[in-house]
Amino acid sequence: MRLKRTAAGAAILLSAAVAVTHAGAVTHPGAVTHPGAVTHAGAATHPGAVTRAGAVPAAATPPTAAPVSPDVVVNVGSAPVGRPVAPGFLGWSFEFPAVRHYTGPDPRAINPVLVQLIRNLAPGQSPVLRIGGNSTDATWFPAAHVKRTPGIHNTITPSWLATTRALAQQTGGRLILGLNLKLNSGAEIAAEAQAFLTGIGAQRIAALEIGNEPELYPIAPWYYAGPSQKAVYSRGRGFNFPAYVREVSRFVKLLGSSPLAGPATNSQVWLSKLPAVFAAEPGLRMVTYHRYPLIHCFTKPGDPLYPTIPNLLAPVSSRGLLQGVTPTIALAHRHGVVFRLDELNSVACKGQWGVSNTFASALWALDTLFSMVQGGVDGVNIHTLPQSAYRLFTTQEVNGRWVAGVNPEYYGLLMFTRAAPPGSRLLPVSTPANADVRAWATRSSTGVIHVVLINDSATTAHVVGVPAPGPAAPGVLENLTAPSLSATGGVTLAGQRFAAETSTGELNGPQRVVSVAPAEGQYLVNLAPASAAMLTLAPPSGR
């Protein structure tokens, strides 16, 4: 989301970016505020290996001695709740011009580090890659009788299509592709759709998404014209949801049987009118919604939406993102339609340095993704943009060799991937109402239980007790740590980290996990400030 500062833009963005107030957090059967993890000594096997999602890592250290009594107890229920985690749940969102920044210009030599970073977050799955965002309505495919306006900055070319197709093929991914709605041209929408179908292939397209955040069309300038730089808007002030529905109804008839996604909105008010969208788009296969808990533009220090680490780690910034939306999610499911947050990150307007690029974003992402699973969301696409503060990584080609620098948020996504493999379901979790620990638990399709503990307190450590859910066999503990919440480097996951300039996209070093034996019927976990931990429990033998 990127807007020039205008009074009208400020008003709508503040209401649309987060339709939630910081006055009331959304509770969940198991946890309250600030969560974390701690560093434990003890090397494990598999130097440099990434733990397979849903598997139990091998622990080389003997069971640890029981620490002191717990000050927080996390109770895990036995009956799974909610929908299973869908394959491809965790995906990526790119802007149109960013694709080739990441892939390089040669479809025969796609950036292999990018490919691996994508695969890491969807092991053994077909990842969902969304290409859209603000650039959706600033991109075109030259079509007959369609005039290019100054608001168009990107052109879909055969070369761009070839590299995008190669990316989808090499990752095994499926694409959500944006179609330009601001041009208000059926010929243009049809031309773009046909270019995607022929240049990329229908088998690689999950959905075509018409427009991007149309609720902002009458208040966010499309471009600035003339010497005076007069603001030009793509729609007049009278443009509203019914007008959007009328436009879309005309255009979908040109798209045949192509699967469609929409309304690509950041407005809870627009989303609540979903029945009209179903009527307008009979080919709708995916409801798409955008969320950022905080806003870099149009806010100032002291505002509840101003980007700070405490605001990012407030429960409302993760668990509150679906406030008022769950009935709409249920409606989509009753229609047999997928509900996807296909644009999500920490701070709107390209993020905030000192917040979005810190370890705090990793803990926020971890809690947020579990919250989305709990809310019934079928998938999430994390938006990443070159030169933005919330970018997941940087990448460049040096002397014919691709390298990347991986940012802290990615580590949080990676822990989630390990804790919530496809087919897993949440288990009920409870913690004391005044605890600083947030907790989540899953059971995989093979019976493996993962308990994730998050401590985003900057100063307070905890000893967390997890009563054994069954026969008390040793568990395996992995830690997600960094020097501090504000750290922009030094992050480790199970003792491993990415090289400063990784040429493989894989974690380096020996994996360090700890075997935790239950003491008096419960597992005891030392949870350091500003950290997270995952306790993995194998299913009972014979299952």
Domain for residue 56, yes or no?
no
Burial class (CB in 10 A: 0-12, 13-18, 19+), 399: exposed
Q: Within this chain, do residues 305 and 448 fall inside the same structural domain, yes or no?
A: no
Q: Is the pLDDT of residue 54 over 80?
A: no
Domain for residue 505, yes or no?
yes
Per the CB < 8 A criterion, the answer to whether 468 and 523 are in contact is yes
Q: What is the pLDDT of residues 94-131, one digit of tens each?
A: 999 999 999 999 999 999 999 999 999 999 999 999 99
Domain for residue 411, yes or no?
no
Q: What is the pLDDT of residues 127-183, one digit of tens each?
A: 999 999 999 999 999 999 999 999 999 999 999 999 999 999 999 999 999 999 999
Region 41-60 average pLDDT: 47
The confidence score (pLDDT) of residue 48 equals 37
pLDDT category at 30 given cuts 50, 70, 90 is very low
pLDDT category at 543 given cuts 50, 70, 90 is low
pTM of the model: 0.89
Q: Is the pLDDT of residue 68 over 80?
A: no
The confidence score (pLDDT) of residue 35 equals 33
Domain for residue 110, yes or no?
no
Q: Is the pLDDT of residue 1 over 60?
A: no
User: For residues 430 and 444, what is the distance between their CA atoms, to the nearest angstrom?
Assistant: 19
Q: Within this chain, do residues 154 and 76 fall inside the same structural domain, yes or no?
A: no
Residue 297 sits at φ, ψ, to 5 deg, of: -95, 150
Q: Of the candidates 326, 350, 374, which is a domain's last residue?
A: 350
3-state secondary structure of 28: strand
Region 40-65 average pLDDT: 47
The residues, ordered by sequence, that sit 6+ positions from 32 with a Cβ below 8 Å of its Cβ are 315, 431, 432, 433, 434, 435, 436, 437, 438
Burial class (CB in 10 A: 0-12, 13-18, 19+), 203: exposed
pLDDT category at 198 given cuts 50, 70, 90 is very high
Q: Within this chain, do residues 14 and 76 fall inside the same structural domain, yes or no?
A: no
Q: Residue type at 147?
A: K
Domain enclosing residue 295, as ranges:
7-24+86-95+127-350
Find how far residue 192's CA is from the centre of its chain: 26
Per the CB < 8 A criterion, the answer to whether 394 and 426 are in contact is no
Residue from 284, 248, 244 nearest 267 by CA: 244
pLDDT category at 55 given cuts 50, 70, 90 is low
Residue from 337, 305, 306, 344 nearest 322 by CA: 344
Q: Residue type at 150?
A: P
Q: 202 — alpha (psi -120 to 50), left (phi > 0) or beta?
A: alpha
Burial class (CB in 10 A: 0-12, 13-18, 19+), 238: exposed
Q: Within this chain, do residues 154 and 268 fall inside the same structural domain, yes or no?
A: yes
Q: Within this chain, do residues 76 and 150 fall inside the same structural domain, yes or no?
A: no
Domain for residue 515, yes or no?
yes
The confidence score (pLDDT) of residue 2 equals 41
Q: Of the candidates 332, 350, 368, which is a domain's last residue?
A: 350
Question: Percent of the chain beyond pLDDT 90?
Answer: 83
Q: What is the pLDDT of residues 218-238, one digit of tens each?
A: 999 999 999 999 999 999 999
Q: Within this chain, do residues 189 and 295 fall inside the same structural domain, yes or no?
A: yes
pLDDT category at 432 given cuts 50, 70, 90 is confident
pLDDT category at 17 given cuts 50, 70, 90 is very low
Please state the domain count of the chain: 2
Q: Within this chain, do residues 441 and 339 fall inside the same structural domain, yes or no?
A: no
Q: What CATH number has the domain bearing residue 469?
A: 2.60.40.1180
Q: Of the candidates 302, 330, 350, which is a domain's last residue?
A: 350
Q: What is the pLDDT of residues 316-362, one digit of tens each?
A: 999 999 999 999 999 999 999 999 999 999 999 999 999 999 999 99
Q: Within this chain, do residues 174 and 308 fall inside the same structural domain, yes or no?
A: yes
User: For residues 432 and 88, what is the distance between their CA atoms, to the nearest angstrom?
Assistant: 33
Q: What is the CA radius of gyration of the chain?
A: 23
The confidence score (pLDDT) of residue 56 equals 62
Mean predicted lDDT score pLDDT of the chain: 89
3-state secondary structure of 504: coil
Residue from 513, 449, 519, 503 nearest 481 by CA: 513
Domain for residue 194, yes or no?
yes
Q: Is the pLDDT of residue 40 over 50?
A: no
The confidence score (pLDDT) of residue 471 equals 72
Q: Is the pLDDT of residue 308 over 90?
A: yes
Q: Within this chain, do residues 76 and 134 fall inside the same structural domain, yes or no?
A: no
Q: Within this chain, do residues 342 and 237 fall inside the same structural domain, yes or no?
A: yes
Residue with tokens 């409870």: 430
Q: Within this chain, do residues 77 and 148 fall inside the same structural domain, yes or no?
A: no
Q: Is the pLDDT of residue 455 over 90?
A: yes
Domain for residue 416, yes or no?
no
The confidence score (pLDDT) of residue 282 equals 87
Q: Within this chain, do residues 431 and 338 fall inside the same structural domain, yes or no?
A: no
Q: What CATH number has the domain bearing residue 155?
A: 3.20.20.80
User: For residues 451 and 415, what is the distance between their CA atoms, to the nearest angstrom?
Assistant: 11
Domain for residue 397, yes or no?
no
The confidence score (pLDDT) of residue 354 equals 98
The confidence score (pLDDT) of residue 80 equals 96
